[in-house]
Amino acid sequence: MVVPARAFDHRCDPQVVLDNLADLVFVLDTAGTVLDVNETCLRLLRWNRDDAVGQSVFDIVHPDDVAVAISSLGTLQDKETGTPIELRVSDVDGVWHWMEIIGSNGLLDGGISGLVCVARDITQRRMWEVAGGDVARFQQVLHHAPSITMLLDGGGVITSVNHAFTRLLGHDPSLVVGAALATFVDESSLPLLSEALQTVRGAERRSSVELAMRTTSRQTRLIRFDLVDQLDDPVVGGIIGSGYDISDLQVVRQELEFIAGHDALTGLANRSLLMERLGRMLAEESGVAVLFIDLDRFKPINDLYGHDVGDAVLRQVSARLLDVVRHSDVVARVGGDEFVAVAANAGDRDVASDLADRIEASLGRPYLLDVGPVKIGASVGVALSEPSSTVASLLSAADVQMYHAKSERRGSVEPRAMERRRSAGERRNLAIELAAGLGRGEIVAHLQPVVDLVTGNVVGMEALARWNHPERGLLRPASFIDLVDDAGLDAALGDAVLHSACRVLEDVRVLGFRLELGVNLSLGQLTTNGFCAHVAAIIEPYGLTMSKLVVEITERATLLRNVPRGCPSPEETLGELHEAGVALSLDDFGTGHSSLNHVRRFPLTSIKVDRTFVAAMARQREDHAVVEVVIGLARALGLSVVAEGVETAVQLDMLRQLGCDRAQGYYLGQPMEATSIGPWLIDRRRYGAVTDQQR
Ligand code: C2E
Ligand code: MG
Ligand code: MG
């Protein structure tokens, strides 16, 4: 028989073979530093290559197993092959995996020049070996574990369960075994349970779900279940379910959800919640009226009598607004002295005008305060929904109407209002000027230090856009950033800022500072095709890796507009950046531009508490509590917290005590131009963490 020559010619690419092995392969130097890994290793431990290479392998070995690892690596250096060892290794999420590892010595092989370790994940085997070896003891341990452990059959019936189930929910264990898990689940969570049972039987063979579970005392507790399908395993033969009580976390979440959706001073909805509710009303009903309310003569009262009196007025205004509208209507505070009311079933102009009149009349009545009676007024603008209306179009139409109402009444317009409402012509001119400025390199990054509150070290810099305007001097983003998206200049501006910042980080690396770089992203950038690769192509020539990049997003940057056809959604782009190792930070948290919804929607790494909370922290107990809750919640979700706008030593101290991870602010370091950064860092290293103010 003639064997076809092809059968012998088949040659695989060794790299491809290596990457397709089920086993993890590490190449280490004699000190345990990772020189190379295969794809399986990256996939199973959820590493990215940049972070893996150069890391000490002992950093991921369980502390109790480090001694074994070190000694086995030591003996391997004098042998060709090592003896297999078993130890625990952590993945990026901190989950421990039992591994069986065998090493071989490739130090003298020029192609390898390292110790090759092949590892196999034996977590499951290990668990059930223990069970098989000493069932009684294993079950004892399992029974007294703090979290629920149970076994379900393919139909969701409980075949075995530990004491934690009874301890948390009260049900008699003898009645639990043999009953469907669904029997103990609150009706509201039943659809979630059936979805989770379906998912766990799918290709992934695992799923997680949060279920409201009924207790014997007729309450519910929220339990998070992680389910793993081991029905095919001859020893297990079931779905393993681990459950943790997260009811307390839920209370904190709800509190924070309220805080994130409401104005701290008046308790009214904030802009974020307003937009959400208005969006829902537009989708569900026709005839929605939006009333934009701006107080007249509020500022002089605030200036004359101080903020406390101003705050008292705002609280009374809120109460009156809630009195005038119906219970189902929404009232929000959207600015210092600006409010919005949204009424359903008020599509008729007369109905809406009547409401506007009643609001004006109510707010025009004198306010009785400690300082005596005070009188202010209000201008109200009304917009009615049409089939084509959007949240943004209605709010902006009502705003414009309010502005007309105010100018009619006064015969003049406040300068602040003028600036906020630049005419179309002015916007166009400024956009043309900005485009030219970008071309001339007038847009640069100023960098503000980010300080680690535990070590006191500068760990990163945030890039803040500045326009070196030839006539008007140095401009901050407030005077041009709103134009950038509309004028399609976001890509150009983002690139200019990124280049400018990378250049600085490259310079200071030579001085021994390896810093993270924070950049603020706009909606346009988030919906650009290939944005992630584009960023990598910019930063890498400066010697910066994606894992050193932190992108900061606000809710505003991800809301409001529909994504253009053929473009990725902000979620997709952020997902890609996350995959590439970039950290994501939610900016201005607590202002109504960012809310808790985002904590779940995006793969976040940190939250930046807005500086208004930091500023108010020392003065107001509620603000102190907000920061405290934010930090607690972030902890529970595995996120870190950065405080913005730290201006005093007192604030810094409070944040430290609350366990805040990092901080930024004038007290720690102002945003600085490129040439000042190096000298500032060196000074700081030499003199310790002495701020400009203290020196
Ligand atoms: P942000 O990202 O929240 O930046 C923090 C702002 O707080 C900066 O204002 C910074 O100068 C200011 N700041 C820092 N420390 C203190 C302090 O202790 N006290 C006070 N009162 N302020 C402090 P800036 O530079 O005017 O930037 C304003 C906003 O413009 C930024 O808010 C960010 O959302 C946006 N922005 C800045 N650069 C860019 C950019 O390159 N692209 C985009 N899309 N947006 C940018
Ligand atoms: Mg920022
Ligand atoms: Mg901010």
Question: What's the CA gap between 126 and 148, in Å, rounded?
Answer: 20
Distance from Cα 532 to the centre of ligand 2, integer Å: 19
pLDDT-based confidence at residue 124 (cuts at 50, 70, 90): low
The maximal CA–CA distance of the chain, rounded, in angstroms, is 111
pLDDT digits (tens, 9 = 90+) for 582-623: 999 998 886 655 555 556 677 889 999 888 888 878 777 767
- The token pair at 212 is 């409201």
Confidence of residue 419 (pLDDT cuts 50, 70, 90): very low
Cα four-point dihedral sign 459, 464, 470, 472: negative
Q: Which of 434, 450, 606, 644 to mutate to test the pocket of ligand 1 (most atoms within 8 A of CB)?
A: 644
- pLDDT of 582: 97
- 477 Cβ closer than 6 Å to some ligand 1 atom: yes
Cβ–ligand 1 distance for 552 under 6 Å, the answer: yes
What is the whole-number distance in angstroms between the Cα of residue 437 and the centre of ligand 1?
20
Q: Is the CB of 610 under 6 A from ligand 1?
A: no
Whether residue 647 has its Cβ less than 6 Å from ligand 1? yes
Q: Mind listing the domains of the chain with CATH numbers? A: 14-128 (3.30.450.20), 133-251 (3.30.450.20), 262-428 (3.30.70.270), 441-680 (3.20.20.450)
Q: Which secondary structure element, helix H or strand E, spans residue 305, and what is its range?
A: helix 298-305
Instruction: Find out whether 201 and 229 touch, Cβ atoms under 8 Å.
Output: yes
CB-ligand 1 contact for 588 (6 Å cutoff): yes
Q: What is the pLDDT of residue 134?
A: 56
Mean pLDDT value across the chain: 84
What's the average model confidence in pLDDT over 663-687? 93
CB of residue 666 inside a 6 A radius of ligand 1: yes
Q: Whose CA is nearest to atom 11 of ligand 1?
A: 671
Q: How far is CA 234 from CA 125, 157, 228, 230, in A?
A: 11, 18, 15, 9
> What is the residue with the minimal CA distance to atom 4 of ligand 1?
464
Number of neighbouring beta carbons within 10 Å of residue 297 = 13
Nearest Cα residue to atom 28 of ligand 1: 477
DSSP one-letter string for 190-227:
HHHHHHHHHHHTSTT-EEEEEEEEE-TTS-EEEEEEEE
pLDDT of residue 626: 73
Least confident window among 43-57, 332-346, 351-365, 474-488: 474-488
Q: Which ligand is nearest to the CA of 614?
A: 1
In 3D space, the residue among 29, 15, 206, 33 whose CA is nearest the CA of residue 123 turns out to be 206
| Stronger pLDDT, 191 or 15, i.e. the higher one | 191
**C-beta atoms surrounding 208 within 10 Å:** 12
Report which ligand 1 atom has the smallest distance to the Cα of 647.
18
Q: Which of 444, 448, 464 to mutate to test the pocket of ligand 1 (most atoms within 8 A of CB)?
A: 464
Q: Is the CB of 464 under 6 A from ligand 1?
A: yes
**Contact indicator for 458, 513 with CB cutoff of 8 Å:** yes
Q: How far apart are alpha carbons 342 and 338 in whole angstroms?
A: 14
Q: Which atom of ligand 1 is nearest to the CA of 646?
A: 18
Position 416 scores a pLDDT of 38
Looking at residue 182, its pLDDT comes to: 96
pLDDT tens digits, 7-49: 345 565 667 777 777 789 999 988 888 999 988 888 888 888 8
In eight-state DSSP terms, residue 478 is G
- CA 539, 540, 544, 548 torsion: positive or negative? positive
Beta strand extents in 399-442 (DSSP E only): none
Ligand 1 centroid, distance to 464 Cα (angstroms): 6
Residue owning the nearest CA to atom 23 of ligand 1: 645
Q: What residue owns the CA closest to ligand 1's atom 8?
A: 464
Determine whether the shortest distance from the Cβ of 481 to ligand 1 is under 6 A. yes
What pLDDT was estimated at residue 1? 39
Per-residue confidence at 454, pLDDT binned at 50, 70, 90? very high
Q: How far is the CA of 35 from the centre of ligand 1 (A)?
A: 40
For ligand 1, whether the C-beta of 360 sits within 6 Å is: no
| Residue 378 β-bridge partners | 295
Distance 552 CA to ligand 2 centre (A): 5
Q: Are 549 and 463 in contact (CB under 8 A)?
A: no
